[in-house]
Amino acid sequence: MTKVDTNTTIGFIGTGVMGKSMATHLIHAGYTLLVYNRTKSKTDELVELGATWKETVAEIAQEADVIITMIGYPKDVEETYFGVNGILTNARAGSYVIDMTTSTPTLAKQIYQAAKETGIFALDAPVSGGDIGAKNAKLTIMVGGDQEAFEAVSPILHTMGTNVLLQGEAGAGHHTKMSNQIAIASGMMAVCEAILYAESAGLNPSTVLKSIAAGSAGSWSLSNLGPRIIVEDYSPGFFVKHFIKDMTIALHSAKEMGIRTPGLELTKSLYEELAAKGEENSGTQALYKLLSNQLS
């Protein structure tokens, strides 16, 4: 097992809204960072900070001791890890691969097994906290995999987050993230409805937030996304299209386990309606626009 310290070379694949901030913290912590993104310009700021751009996923895998992926959809994860030019074909034995994308538990188990067969240590480690948590290095990181591998890369994970827990074997990280997304789904709908109600009643929504966010109704979404709704800031901390992807995964997993999730089903249907009206690249707080009839 490779020793992980500040001399470790980390490859970071996927430098979007979340990934760029996460990678920045790794640079500031003193790690040597290699970066790749399908849109090269999204790595420019990281290169200016000292990261090294690589032309392919294969190059990242061949040179890095630890490879982190933070990409879009399960199909992207599958393409990035498997195949001739994928991570698992090119990574060295003894290296670590950490998928921080919100993906499926089943795929996480497939990656873990394939990695194990070639002497690579695999962890699934999806995150919660949005763009604010990523920028402030205060993400919650939910990890699935072996205890020894988790402990080895724990310093890296703590560079990006403050609540970092091993939840169980491979796939457990993604199952935990699905629990997180289920809680957020109905909660986000409630935040939008609460602000809409306050405004319709002629109240100052900012003052209302000061009262209810400090009580039993308080939540991260209410405190962080509620103010954005009030000032009509619908920029993405987390994309609507990615939230729909997550809810789809959660619904599929719930049905496999034979459990009912009616709140999740309703929220997903509303977000699909929102996306159909051209808001797929907005932040999840844009649900308010749908509920308040701001969209045609």
Q: Is 245 a catalytic residue?
A: no
3-state secondary structure of 162: strand
d(CA 245, CA 16) in angstroms, rounded, equals 16
With contact defined as beta carbons under 8 Å apart, do 87 and 76 qualify? no
With contact defined as beta carbons under 8 Å apart, do 127 and 139 qualify? yes
Which residue of the set 20, 109, 177, 268 is catalytic?
A: 177
DSSP 283: B
Sign, CA torsion 41/58/161/169: positive
d(CA 82, CA 176) in angstroms, rounded, equals 24
With contact defined as beta carbons under 8 Å apart, do 125 and 143 qualify? yes
Task: List, by residue number, the catalytic residues.
Answer: 177
